[in-house]
Structure 1
Amino acid sequence: MAQFTAEVFQNEFLPDGGTDVHAIVRVTCRQAGQAGQSGSTDAAEIIIVDTSGSMGEHGINQGRLAATAALNEVTDGTWFAVIAGNHVGTVVFPYPGGPTRMVRMDPSTRQSAIGSMQMFRADGGTAMGTWLTEAAEVFRTVPQATQRHAILLTDGANEHETSDQLTRAINNAMGVFQCDCRGLGDRWQVDEVRRIASALLGTVDLIPAPQAMAAEFQSLVRKSMARGVANVDVRVWTPQGAQTLFVKQVAPNLEDLTSRRTQVNPLTSGYPTGAWADESRDYHVAVRLSAKSVGQEQLAARVQVVLADQVQTQALVKATWSNDEALTTRIDDQVARYTGKAELAQAIQDGLAAKAAGRDDDATAKLGRAVQLATAAGDQEMTSRLRKVVEIDDAAEGTVRLKKGVERLDEMALDTASTKTTRVRK
């Protein structure tokens, strides 16, 4: 049975008149088990492969290999299906017109699914909303599967439906399944695919070349099958009169959960976190209290991990008002590092967007700030990625010049890496 623990990193001391409390809550899950193996719930997996004309014969062949690698990682007994995506989403396995839209994985169905992918042909345009809509409809045919996960691969921009159509499809899929999204090559739009992944509690990343697809698909499904706990919520209780400013996942990826808030009761809000494996995740919780006088103490928030409406663990965020500046001016290392990482990600994304729009001065300023933040944090990996986009004259001051002739893949790799974080040690 899964076991959750939680711990808090914060500076609880506020100055006289202070109102805002920030804390990092680290949640760890152990003994999660395997997807769909708990005996009380089933798991379901859908592989969505771009088969638009831009994939070409080589891309399609590598897509077949990647989907095969993914199917080989799906645990027997898991419900599954394969969807080919171009300007429409089409179920290629189980076969169209069959008695069911998902089947359980076993050696026979696995081989049949692999054979069905011979139907893949590079043809048509790209309308990812239709793929999501089809996947949601297929997942809904197995309501007994409470853990539902998909992989979505695209190699191009969403050019065959409007932004509103895509938004409606995303909203229709929210809460139905989680989706990890991957973009192949340099013709897709990171912000567009990130929007899908973010809404569906998944990740977005770059696959630079077709031959790298199989290993990535294999890894994604292996991770999915290791998530033995589905539908975990983080709940935040705050006292009467307090305001939850935000709840953000800050590790292993940056994800703002604030807009996902649901009201559990007048003092408690809930935030979905999806399925869990044996892992740790960090959450930045910010609460605004009514100011108290020096010497007073207050519980600022109670952060709970909830599974099937049962509290698994909790952590307490505290506030103490003090006139000791040595205490009140200290920023907890964890809070500081993750706050800096969030600013770094925003600076990178804003800088790249400005560069793409031809606003070179704005791009230079934003990417310069990103270099400054990465340098201050000792983030050598991010600094190295930034060097592929800008010439760095003074890293500490953030003085940079935009490089000419930058490879688009380097910009996309920087963009997708911006929301990944590494664990900050005590």
Structure 2
Amino acid sequence: METAAPGADGTAGQVTVGLEISQWKYLSGEADDPQMHAILSVRVDGTDGGGRVGGPVLAQVLAVDCSSSMTWPPEKLHAAQQAAVAAIRKLPDGTPFAVVRGNEQAAMVYPDTQRMARASDRTRARAERAVHQLVAGGGTCIGAWLDLCRRLLTEQDAPIGHVLLLTDGKNQHDERMPLAGVLDACAGRFVCDAWGIGDGWDGQELLRITRRLHGSSSSVREEEALPGEYAKLMDRLLTKTVPELAISVTPMPGAGVRYLKQVFPTEAELAAEDGTGRFVTRAWGDETRRYQLCLSADPAGRPRREDLQLAVVAVDVPGGEVRLPTPQPCLVHWTDNPALSRQTDAQVEHFEQHQRLGEAVAAATDAHRRGERDLAEHQLGRAVQLAHAMGADEQLGRLARLVRVDDAAAGRVALRPEVTAVDFQHLITASSHSTYGPASGTGTGAATGAGGTGGVTVPCPVCASKAPAGARFCPACGHRFEERP
């Protein structure tokens, strides 16, 4: 594993950034479309206690669903009001903030004109009173809500813009302001976290929003839990003082960047700026995030049996006094040995398994919506099998709410008769939160330990699932491997 430490002189009060690359460098020179996958681990430290970059904390907009479905049960609107109040009370003095009411259009709740207030004892109290006077009615057009949030935040100079969106329904009036176009306009302007409440919201819709706007999707099963969740989210948000961090990938001649996407702690889309290899990520505190990098490569005319530099990865924080890591190479080693080229880095495999788990959950949700219970059960069985192979106990626990697990390794499950549509929506949002993954293995593919297996994986000859190179059994299907030299 290639590692760049934050630095050795222990400078107090300075933000530091670390970068690690985990990959299996061996590729077959005979492959039709050779691709190199690597996991980039980026960590930020020192944002607390004087490590702030660039001034004000953030500008915050609370978007509250006030469509007619929020009127029943009454506890739902009350929970939304209490949650908004909990968030407002967390805002430090001087923070620009606003509250937006959403139905088939968007309107200001506080302030009463289209601007943002500055948090103080007086403005927080006025905002609380305005929130408690909210009345629900009308339809749902989430695009209109986000568009008003965008216009409010555009007027602010705070380096971090954030929207906290709550909905209990589907985007039924999209024709009024299509969400696709609004997301294009909002991308890069602010971070959005979205919450589902009640039983009528669409988990895939929330993921569509938060993946594009670098936030996370969540939900509550019990309305009374929402205020506490909002308070915890605001506590986490207020530790984020680095507005943005850019990851630059510079491919060598004969190589190209296919994509870079965030895979931990949640999935997020990343787009290169102006077609370059520079990808901007948003709103950092003291935390680690992981990204999957995919590079294309052409072996024609390249030497075999030696390490070659395929790309260089660097990170920077625009406009900040930050200690940055040394740029790190992503390597390739062209080989004709299938025993080497068929192996995979364990971190890469972990996050690809997580993606397959999410796809199985989405397919199960679609099948259940169509009334195809047998297919839904089959897809949930596949999800259980993947979660078991990954050792993802939290995901297994969530899946067990929907199915009785008879044999996790084989994916044998039985759909519970009392399962409802909203249970699938909770599962979708939860599945977007990934686990950290295995410890880094060999990184560039050099042999480690007695068996030289490190963190690489090999395919099972029975089910094709990936297993650690030194494993005796396949973690997915239980097949016993032959003794390996």
| TM-score, normalised by the number of residues in structure 2 | 0.80
Matches within 5 A, 1:61-140: 61-96=78-113, 101-140=115-154
Q: Deviations over 1:145-169 (max 9, x none)?
A: 2210010001111223339722222
Q: What is the Cα deviation at residue 271 of structure 1? A: 2.0
Inter-CA distance 361–62: structure 2 relative to 1 (3 Å threshold): closer
Q: What is the Cα deviation at residue 306 of structure 1? A: 2.4
- Partners of 2:50 and 2:85 lie apart in 1 by 19
Question: Is this contact kept in 1: 2:210–2:268, CA < 8 A?
Answer: no
- Partners of 2:428 and 2:50 lie apart in 1 by 31
Q: What is the Cα deviation at residue 387 of structure 1? A: 2.8
- Partners of 1:185 and 1:35 lie apart in 2 by 41
Give the AA of the match of 2:436: R
- Partners of 2:146 and 2:356 lie apart in 1 by 31
- Partners of 2:295 and 2:87 lie apart in 1 by 42
- Tell me which structure has the larger Cα radius of gyration: 2
Inter-CA distance 382–37: structure 2 relative to 1 (3 Å threshold): closer
- Partners of 1:117 and 1:396 lie apart in 2 by 49
Gaps (5+ residues) in structure 1? none
Match of 1:210 among 216, 223, 238: 223
- Partners of 1:247 and 1:354 lie apart in 2 by 30
Matched, 1:298 2:304: no
Question: Is this contact kept in 2: 1:391–1:400, CA < 8 A?
Answer: yes
Greater CA drift, 55-64 or 36-45: 36-45
Match of 1:289 among 273, 285, 297: 297
For 1:254, what is the secondary structure of its paired residue? coil
For 2:291, what is the secondary structure of its paired residue? strand
Gaps (5+ residues) in structure 2? 1-13, 440-485
For 1:388, what is the secondary structure of its paired residue? coil
- Partners of 2:385 and 2:53 lie apart in 1 by 48
Match of 2:287 among 265, 276, 279: 279
Alignment-derived partner of residue 47 in structure 1: 62
For 1:226, what is the secondary structure of its paired residue? coil
Q: Deviations over 1:162-213 (max 9, x none)?
A: 3972222222222221110001021111111221111111111111122111
Q: What is the Cα deviation at residue 239 of structure 1? A: 1.2
Alignment-derived partner of residue 176 in structure 1: 189
Match of 2:277 among 264, 269, 281: 269
Question: Is this contact kept in 1: 2:100–2:109, CA < 8 A?
Answer: yes
Alignment-derived partner of residue 206 in structure 2: 193
Question: Is this contact kept in 2: 1:299–1:317, CA < 8 A?
Answer: yes
Greater CA drift, 155-164 or 20-29: 155-164
- Partners of 2:195 and 2:342 lie apart in 1 by 42
RMSD: 2.4
Give the AA of the match of 2:400: R
Alignment-derived partner of residue 330 in structure 1: 343
Alignment-derived partner of residue 251 in structure 1: 264
Aligned residues: 417
Match of 1:382 among 389, 395, 400: 395
Inter-CA distance 35–286: structure 2 relative to 1 (3 Å threshold): farther
- Partners of 1:329 and 1:36 lie apart in 2 by 44
Alignment-derived partner of residue 14 in structure 1: 27
Q: What is the Cα deviation at residue 121 of structure 1? A: 0.8
- Partners of 1:408 and 1:30 lie apart in 2 by 41
Question: Is this contact kept in 2: 1:35–1:226, CA < 8 A?
Answer: no
Q: What is the Cα deviation at residue 393 of structure 1? A: 4.2
Give the AA of the match of 1:24: I
